[in-house]
Amino acid sequence: MSTFTLPDLGEGLPDAEIVEWHVKEGDHVELDAPLVSMETAKAVVEVPAPQAGIVEKLHGKPGDVIQTGAPLVQFASAVSEPVAQSSTTVAGKIEEGDTVIEDVSFSAQATEGATVLAAPAVRARARQMHIDLTKVKGSGPKGAVLMTDLPSSSVSNPVSAVSQNPPEGFEPLRGPRRSMAHAMISSKAQVVPVSIYDTVDVSAWIEKGDITVRIIEAIVEGVKAEPGLNAWFDTASESVKVHKALHLGMAVDSPEGLFVPVLKDIQDKDRQALRETINQFKKAAQEKSFTPDALKGATLTLSNFGKFAGQFASPIVVPPAVAILGVGRLTQTPVVKNNTVTIGHLLPLSLTFDHRGVTGGEATRFLKTLMDSLSKP
């Protein structure tokens, strides 16, 4: 008998929801045959059978959320050697015997020359909490990092399905909404947020300009003045990594929930390229067709919530990033210019930063440079 656990689907997420089983108990399956479709916050992924054999037990039903590393399928017969897990394909791990033995499930993770032994569930949880496992002292066999070795705020049951039924009238969170909830919890546990607010008069160009593209260009200018806003903060080592490339996460609303696709290397893109990518993001959000890579690696985030309502907010910084800019609803307001009252087009700005890695001076200089850029024709 062998147990196949939910593999790391290659997206850095700690769990996935069962959408549809392609087999039933008692079926004989062939190696790599479709086993189950699992939904993450980013996509529906088809998980293939890791071996040929008879399905003895299915762990979970459609709608159940399974943690990475939790039992997924039990086979009545086992292969002699486990299927190797690849970083580029969906592949799981076969563990021999009647129970899943923890020390059999450890796998090596190489990080910048260092090798860390950790179970898939531990690695997934560490990624979710943005913890560098090379800096965590393991207490398991051969120095393997166990779930209990992670900071207490990141530890939860890694090897069981979410089995508690919601109260009557409640609907469980799924896909992007569940991922959003996890991200907010992660932020609350780690970030020390501070928000500052201001407005900028964009009358010089608003009648003929692309507001989102102009904001992105202004962010680039702000980062040139204060690179520390384009950074990641590592909680475990209390260290900061300032990025040379600016990868801007853009909050995109959809009926399914919030997506944050990433505009890569925006410092090198012209206005047309930026607009084309933004339009692609909008379409992908509606179709829920983002690739995993499109949602990874943001070094700073933009939330343009003002297209709906609201002028100011306190946007949530999602670690390891250290800053997020919120843009509110554009308003026409009387302003004084050269001792004369005129009508200005005021754009409200809300900047939240992680005070562990960014000073108030750095944040205000970034915002001032950004505002100067937006006020120019």
In order of 56, 223, 228, 238, the CA distances from 243 in angstroms are 49, 10, 8, 16
Evaluate if residue 19 carries a pLDDT over 50. Answer: yes
The last residue of one of the domains, among 137, 154, 171, is 154
323 lies in some domain = yes
Evaluate if residue 78 carries a pLDDT over 60. Answer: no
Q: Which of 188, 201, 136 is nearest to 316 (CA)?
A: 188
Lowest-confidence region among 125-134, 248-257, 333-342: 125-134
**How high is the pLDDT of residue 42?**
63
107 lies in some domain = yes
3-state secondary structure labels for all residues of 76-145 = CCCCCCCCCCCCCCCCCEEEECCCCCHHHCCEEEEECCEEEEECHHHHHHHHHCCCCHHHCCCCCHHHCE
CB 374 within 8 A of CB 217: no
> What is the count of structural domains for the chain?
2
81 lies in some domain = yes
The structure tokens 């946007």 sit at 315
Give the CATH number of the domain where residue 243 resides. 3.30.559.10
Evaluate if residue 164 carries a pLDDT over 90. Answer: no
Q: What is the mean pLDDT of residues 229-257?
A: 92
Q: What is the mean pLDDT of residues 323-352?
A: 94
- Domain boundaries, position 308: 191-375
Do 128 and 211 lie in a common domain? no
Give the CATH number of the domain where residue 45 resides. 2.40.50.100
Do 203 and 62 lie in a common domain? no
- pLDDT digit string (tens) for 121-132? 567 667 666 677
Do 197 and 150 lie in a common domain? no
CB 348 within 8 A of CB 189: no
182 lies in some domain = no
Question: Which residue intervals of 227-301 are DSSP H helices?
Answer: 271-287
Q: 0.85 cut: is pTM over it?
A: no
Residues 6+ apart with CB under 8 A from 367: 196, 198, 222, 349, 351
Evaluate if residue 36 carries a pLDDT over 80. Answer: yes
d(CA 290, CA 283): 9
Do 142 and 58 lie in a common domain? yes
- pLDDT digit string (tens) for 165-198? 788 899 888 877 887 888 888 888 899 999 999 9
Question: Which residue intervals of the chain are DSSP H helices?
Answer: 120-128, 175-190, 211-225, 271-287, 360-375
Do 80 and 200 lie in a common domain? no
Q: Which of 322, 316, 315, 275 is nearest to 298 (CA)?
A: 322
Evaluate if residue 44 carries a pLDDT over 90. Answer: no
Q: Which of 79, 242, 65 is nearest to 160 (CA)?
A: 65
d(CA 325, CA 323): 7
19 lies in some domain = yes
186 lies in some domain = no
Do 206 and 258 lie in a common domain? yes
Instruction: Read off the DSSP letter of residue 69.
Output: T
Query: In DSSP terms, which residues pair with 231 in a beta bridge?
Result: 242
